[in-house]
Amino acid sequence: MSCQPSPCPSAEHVDIPALRARYRQERSIRIKPEGQQQYVRPVEDLAEVYEGDPYMPVIPRAPISEEIAVAVLGAGWAGVLAGYHLHNAGVKDVRVIDHAGDFGGVWYWNRYPGLSCDNDAYCYLPLLEEMNFLPAKQFTDGFEIREYCQSIAKKFGLYEGAMFHTLITGLRWDEAIKRWRISTNRGDDIKARFVIMANGLLNIPKLPGIPGIHGFKGKMFHSARWDYDYTGGEQKNPVLDKLADKRVAIIGTGATSVQAVPFLGKYAKQLYVLQRTASTVDQRVNPPTDPEWAKTLKPGWQRERQRNFQHLALEFPAPGDTDLICDIWTEINRNLTAEFEREGFPQSAEEYLAKREVMDYRVMERLRLRLESIVDDKQAAEILKPWYRYLCKRPASNNEYYPTFNRPNVKVIDVSKTQGVEALTEHGFIAAGVEYPIDCLIFASGFEVTSDLDRRWGIDVFEGRGGKSIYEAWSAEYRTLHGMMAHGFPNQFFTGFIQGGFAASTTETFNQQGKHIAFIIAETLKRGAAVVEPTLEAQNAYVDLIRATAFDNSAFIRECTPSYFNNEGVEVANEKGETKIRFYTGEVYGPGWYAFLELLENWRDRGDLQGLALAE
Ligand code: NDP
């Protein structure tokens, strides 16, 4: 059956001015002026919930002192994909370094019950055609993703140079030897010709600075360090039977909590879900991969599907569009396309955006009505309703989340009026002046995504040429070439969302960055050079280009409920004193993801490494 529009209430049944006012009011309740400062740094303040590896023993080893060609810092998708492209480009002597015990990145650390990917796995999992692999389901489990990620690392020889359970503490450019000196928590001194920062977006757990947090005497852990010894069960078989006599509280109701709560509710004696902002949670239609469909796939199918996802999730709809993905990310455009096919396509971007806004209110109303029809307790249903524009937060889909609140042992507690959990005591938490005794507190409080770089990266020292710190260089604004290199930081490559295109799948961003970076490293080596660095002129020209074309969504995100998407709703000043709202994707190339890829491809095709200075 082809993908159908969703059954939203009609525009006449949605009071948009009233909803707009409600969204603003809810936003103002939640804004916390401290912004990022409301979170404590786990590394310093609550090491017990962060340090160590609950999944693999850390084996002592002697410090290593060596010279290598390429250090890839991070063994998650960004690192694996960079390694894959380096392998294909013939670059040998690559060391992937990570504080985890194996490849996988977020899929290594996150093993909480119910962990799965909220995105279409046929798009999200990279290199499916190259690996001749198909996931078991459209929305696949965390376990399968980790194994798949590791299978790529194995196939392309990345285990050979891998260095695990090693945390980077410092990076310094040494002009005398024209290498980066990498220091680690193991006392290593690695002298790498090139460094690729593949440290991901969700690598540092974030903990709320709740008054009394250090005095709580019960068990605490972050969702990205799930303690199965305490809860019982294991990732593949999450029977949390040791919680049968435990009172558990979980802080946060983001994508992680939505997946873990059904398991906690099923097994804990008592579960308190401490909610500051509700998520949108739709049903999850998750059929197993159909072998008949698999047989019909032609070479190039994954690229075609990814293009379809990009188009339906992020671009303007066009006549004849077909939605291959058919999920929550593509719903608004799917519905609009059906409407436009009947009534005519918009003649301008403004007209499209106005229609999109109306559909946004309709979809959000559908989601609120949906939960109302599932959650029996009227008060709980009211608390669970989300009041913001769709995509102000990451939308979730889960069939068990709302029914869990019909269990007698599960209670959702609204902590929005106090902008988070009020306080912790020795034995529990306080909400609306009442103390709730608990045995265990789970932080599903997310990761440092939009905080200052030093917090986000967790690397104490990062100094380029002349001892210039990257944190200083980028304190007011990013300045890069293609979002991947920076003047003053030779032989250094960045991945993630800094100043580039925005792909609907994060893995696709990493894949294309890995390809581009591997090309530059291979070309530099081929030309017999030891140093490659963007000229200031080329960097300035690129920054001008990205600023001139940048997709400006500040009006939308400024109105959004606070979260890591918009730097907790707090504006930041640039060098000129202008305040801006910081979006987690950084500055995005306006003409779109595929136009950005074309820009990179044309640049590579010229073959002259335009804008890069090479030196011996
Ligand atoms: P999020 O940052 O999305 O959520 C953190 C939660 O903690 C929010 O509900 C937040 O509330 C809450 N919180 C923070 N501080 C407090 C406080 N003081 N009191 C009460 N609540 C508080 O983290 P997640 O781990 O859920 O998800 C992080 C990201 O990981 C996702 O957005 C997604 O990118 C990724 N992810 C992806 C999955 C996938 O399927 N691909 C699955 C799981 C996660 P508030 O919203 O009010 O700030």
Helix (H, G, I), strand (E, B) or coil at 4: coil
Over the stretch 246-259, which tens digit does the pLDDT of each residue have? 999 999 999 999 99
Give the model's pLDDT for residue 47.
67
Ligand 1 centroid to 445 CA: how many Å? 5
138 lines ligand 1 (CB under 6 A): no
Say yes or no to pLDDT of 45 above 60.
no
Over the stretch 575-603, which tens digit does the pLDDT of each residue have? 666 667 666 677 889 999 999 999 999 99
Strands 612-615 and 531-534, bridge-based pairing: antiparallel
Over the stretch 528-566, which tens digit does the pLDDT of each residue have? 999 999 999 999 999 999 999 987 778 888 889 888 878
Give the model's pLDDT for residue 185.
94
Give the model's pLDDT for residue 575.
62
274 lines ligand 1 (CB under 6 A): yes
Ligand 1 centroid to 276 CA: how many Å? 10
Give pTM, 2 decimals. Answer: 0.95
Ligand 1 centroid to 274 CA: how many Å? 12
Helix (H, G, I), strand (E, B) or coil at 369: helix
Say yes or no to pLDDT of 448 above 90.
no
Give the model's pLDDT for residue 113.
98
415 lines ligand 1 (CB under 6 A): yes
280 lines ligand 1 (CB under 6 A): no
Mean pLDDT in the chain?
94
Contact 274/428 with Cβ under 8 angstroms?
A: no
Over the stretch 144-153, which tens digit does the pLDDT of each residue have? 999 999 999 9
Over the stretch 12-36, which tens digit does the pLDDT of each residue have? 999 999 999 999 999 998 888 888 7
Give the model's pLDDT for residue 553.
79
Closest protein CA for atom 21 of ligand 1: 252
Ligand 1 centroid to 257 CA: how many Å? 7
**Which atom of ligand 1 sits closest to the CA of residue 209?**
18
- Give the residue, out of 28, 49, 251, 450, with the most ligand 1 atoms within 8 A of its beta carbon, to mutate for a pocket test: 251
Over the stretch 598-612, which tens digit does the pLDDT of each residue have? 999 999 999 999 999
Over the stretch 328-343, which tens digit does the pLDDT of each residue have? 999 999 999 999 999 9
254 lines ligand 1 (CB under 6 A): yes
Closest protein CA for atom 4 of ligand 1: 254
Closest protein CA for atom 45 of ligand 1: 277
- Residue among 421, 494, 489 nearest 456 (CA): 494
The alpha-carbon radius of gyration of the chain (Å, integer) is 24
Give the model's pLDDT for residue 44.
55
- Helix (H) and strand (E) counts in the chain: 21, 25
Give the model's pLDDT for residue 95.
98
Ligand 1 centroid to 380 CA: how many Å? 20
For residue 437, what are the β-bridge partners? 428
Ligand 1 centroid to 488 CA: how many Å? 35
Ligand 1 centroid to 159 CA: how many Å? 32
Give the model's pLDDT for residue 2.
79
Query: In angstroms, how far is the first alpha carbon of the chain from the final one?
Result: 61
Give the model's pLDDT for residue 451.
78
Ligand 1 centroid to 319 CA: how many Å? 36
250 lines ligand 1 (CB under 6 A): no
The more confident residue out of 575 and 427 is: 427
Say yes or no to pLDDT of 42 above 60.
no
Q: Can you list the domains of the chain with their CATH numbers?
A: 1-60+207-285+343-446 (3.50.50.60), 65-204+451-535+592-615 (3.50.50.60)
